[in-house]
Amino acid sequence: MIYKHALRPSSDTPTHCRLFQAFTGIRSIVHTHSRNAVAFAQAGRGIPCLGTTHADYFYGEVPVTRPMTAEEIQSAYERETANVIVERFNDLDPKRVCAVLVHSHGPFVWGPSGKKAVENAFALEIIAEMALKAIQLNPQVQPISSYLLGKHFLRKHGPASYYAKFKSSGAPPARTGSLSLHLCLTQGLPTGTNAEA
Amino acid sequence: VALSRISARTKFITILLLALGVCELNPNGHVMSNYDDIKAESYEANLLLPEFKLIDLTFGNVSVADSERQVFAVKPSGVDYSAMKVGDMVVVDFEGNIIEGESLLGMTNSAKLSWALFASPSCSPFASHR
């Protein structure tokens, strides 16, 4: 090879590699240290779904991984970071929950395009701040019902979404206001997307 | 690697392949990358992070993949968002091998030309980065 790169790729690159391998169908991955999402990661807590803002983007709790072991940290740390994410998604669908908190670290978020993935990361930070404040106001606050969760998520995502129906029928949406919130995973992902162990 | 190592032969081959239409120049005068689309999308998405106030210092990165070709473009390490250019995006395959990076600080266009030629799989019959 005649040329050596002046710049190296982001140090988190092995994490991206492993996630692209495991979550087939995702096109873009975002990693930030946004403060409210990190607060949940550092507390070792997932972000519970306490309202419809959350449900518009994420189908249920945004999960937190287990803490990484000494061996994982001392070996291929960045790749093992992805492995604890993949492990956490054994019983979750990355198409329906497009974000995760790595314990004591921070959020990884994905989506069908670079722009959508960043929007999802921004939505995650917003719902983390909202949840944090709601828990402060009422430490016994409970997640929203499965009915409300399903109503809000599924009307925007997947084949039963109002949006998809409007698109397929060509009929105009009756209420365009709520459709402006449509962001997360309605485009680009194949239906069979699943985490591979 | 010193510029002097970019040989006259390499320049000749570059110009020959351009003349044959095997390679094209992009608007910046560089040999067209096979990955211009994901590099541009990754660059634009990375710039949204400071816009959305999602980052402090240089924390944070966005990658955008071409799943058919099993590659993605990602932010370079430790580069300030305000100084970052689209050409700085690094292309990596899903196994972690660097496929293309064009961060040729201080290098001349001919070096960029040569590097892009050697980095681009469809343009180069003999370059391998594995």
Q: Is A122's CB within 8 Å of B52's CB?
A: yes
Q: Which of B48, B54, B65 is nearest residue A115 as measured by Cβ atoms?
A: B48
Task: Please give the pLDDT value at position B125.
Answer: 35
3-state helix, strand, coil in chain B (%, to 5): 40, 15, 45
Residue B95 burial class via C-beta count within 10 angstroms: exposed 0-12, middle 13-18, buried 19 and up: exposed
Q: Chain B within 8 Å of A80 (Cβ-Cβ)? A: no
Assess contact for A85 and A92: CB atoms under 8 A: no
Q: Which of B6, B47, B61 is the best substitution to test chain A (most A C-beta atoms within 10 A)?
A: B61
DSSP H stretches of helix in A114-187: 114-137, 146-154, 162-169, 176-179
Mean predicted lDDT score pLDDT of chain A: 84
Q: Chain B within 8 Å of A76 (Cβ-Cβ)? A: no
Between B12 and B48, the higher pLDDT residue: B48
Task: Please give the pLDDT value at position A187.
Answer: 39
Task: Please give the pLDDT value at position A124.
Answer: 98
A56 is catalytic: yes
State the pairing for strand pair B61-66/A28-31: antiparallel
**A169: distance to nearest CA of chain B, Å?**
30
In chain A, the percentage of residues whose pLDDT exceeds 70 is 78
**A160: distance to nearest CA of chain B, Å?**
26
The residue of chain B nearest to residue A188, with distances taken between CA atoms, is B67
Closest CA to A4 of B13, B65, B3: B3
Q: Chain B within 8 Å of A190 (Cβ-Cβ)? A: no
Q: Is A8's CB within 8 Å of B41's CB?
A: no
Assess contact for A68 and A80: CB atoms under 8 A: yes
User: Per residue in A154-168, pLDDT tens?
Assistant: 988 877 666 544 444
Q: Which segment of A88-92, B20-24, B113-117 scores lowest on mean pLDDT?
A: B113-117
Residue B79 — pLDDT band, cuts 50, 70, 90?
A: confident
User: Per residue in A31-79, pLDDT tens?
Assistant: 999 999 999 999 999 999 999 999 999 999 999 999 999 999 999 999 9
In chain A, the percentage of residues whose pLDDT exceeds 90 is 73
Mean predicted lDDT score pLDDT of chain B: 71
pTM above 0.90, yes or no: no
Q: Is the confidence at residue B7, as pLDDT, over 80?
A: no
Helix (H) or strand (E) holding B98: strand B98-101
Q: Which of A5, A11, A34 is nearest residue B103 as measured by Cβ atoms?
A: A5
Task: Please give the pLDDT value at position B108.
Answer: 28
ipTM of this complex prediction, to 2 decimal places: 0.79
Residue A30 — pLDDT band, cuts 50, 70, 90?
A: very high
Report the C-alpha gap between A5 and B118 in whole angstroms.
Answer: 12
DSSP assignment letter at A187: S
